[in-house]
Structure 1
Amino acid sequence: MTGNAYQDRTDRFAGMLMRQAAWPAALVVAANILAPLAASARGGFETLPAAVALSITAASAVAVLALSALLAFDALLFRVMAGHDDEASGGAAVDDMLARMRLKPAPSTTRSLEDRMAGTSRLLFKQRAALALFATALLAAGFWAPR
């Protein structure tokens, strides 16, 4: 892969990750701000099923926000990679940075860009699953709230 093609692909992936980190986090924060207002207008979440659903909502909200933070961090790491001329030097720079931050031990070989993107895509899938659980639990809490 030539330097420009590598840099363009890595930069596009980093931009996509930043967007995918931002909108679910914003959605969760907005829902957590608006849900208590809606609940107080309807009489609260005093039934046991609604309380359980709210507990699941809170746990999944934390998961979505944590995964969004990890995706934003990965996006920044891909931006660092895009700042290098080739895949090997970009991957080595990220590996060195993670080792100096004591987040990961220094690997013996540098992973390919495709391997790194696949790992981040799995993280993106987990974020989407947590977001789906959050939305489902929030709707369930609203369903079981007194009318």
Structure 2
Amino acid sequence: MTGNAYRERADRFARMLMQQAAWPAAVVVAANSLAPLAASARGAFETLPAAIALSVSAASAVAVLALSALLVFDALLFRLMASHNDEASGGAAVDGILARMRLKPSPSTTRPLDDRMAGTRRLLFKQRAALALFAAALLTAGFWAPR
């Protein structure tokens, strides 16, 4: 794929990734800043199930934030791809950066844009699963807290 269609597609995907990385991270940060206040006021740390649920929510919050950071990194790589005129040179530029950063070895052939997008979509799914686990654990902690 060459020209404006390739560039527009990669840039549009990068914009979408930035949005999809930002809002779950903002939700987790906001919920984590408010949850301890509500939990201590209700005595949630006094029961074992609530304490376990809060621990699970904290671990899943870290996972959401880490996956959001990875999605931002991927978005920047897609922006780099969009800055090149064709898919081959954009993919080669990304592969070169990843090899210089020692994150991936240099491939013999460059992967197409669709394959790269599919890999990032799997990362996006993992972020959503971690966000769902976070929400479920936070709600469970509220359920088990004494009234």
What's the TM-score once normalised by structure 1's chain length? 0.97
Question: Aligned runs of 1:1-147 on 2, under 5 Å?
Answer: 1-147=1-147
Cα deviation, 1:86-137, whole Å, max 9, x if unaligned, reads 0000000000000011111100100000000000000000000000000000
Per-residue deviation, residues 22-65 of structure 1 (Å, max 9, x unmatched) = 00001001000000111232234210000110111011011100
Q: Counterparts of 1:133 and 1:123 in 2: how far apart (Å)?
A: 15
2:102 aligns to what SS in structure 1? coil
**Distance in 2 between the 1:37 and 1:50 partners?**
14
Q: What runs of 5+ residues in structure 2 fail to find an aligned partner?
A: none
Provide the C-alpha distance between the structure 2 equivalents of 1:2 and 1:80, rounded to a whole number of angstroms. Answer: 15
- Regions of 4+ moved over 3 Å: none
Does the aligned pair in 1 maintain the 2:49–2:144 contact within 8 Å?
yes
Deviation at residue 2 of structure 1 after TM alignment: 3.4
Distance 2:75 2:32 in 1: 25
Q: Secondary structure at the match of 2:46?
A: coil
> Matches of 1:78 and 1:4 in 2, distance apart?
14
Q: What is the CA RMSD across the aligned residues, in angstroms?
A: 0.8
| d(CA) in 2 for partners of 1:23, 1:114 | 24
Structure 1 unaligned spans of 5+: none
How many pairs were matched up? 147
Return the letter of the residue paired with 1:73: F
Per mean C-alpha deviation after superposition, the further-off stretch among 24-33 and 44-53 is 44-53
Between the aligned partners of 1:3 and 1:22, the Cα distance in structure 2 is: 29
CA contact (8 A) 2:44 2:141 kept: no
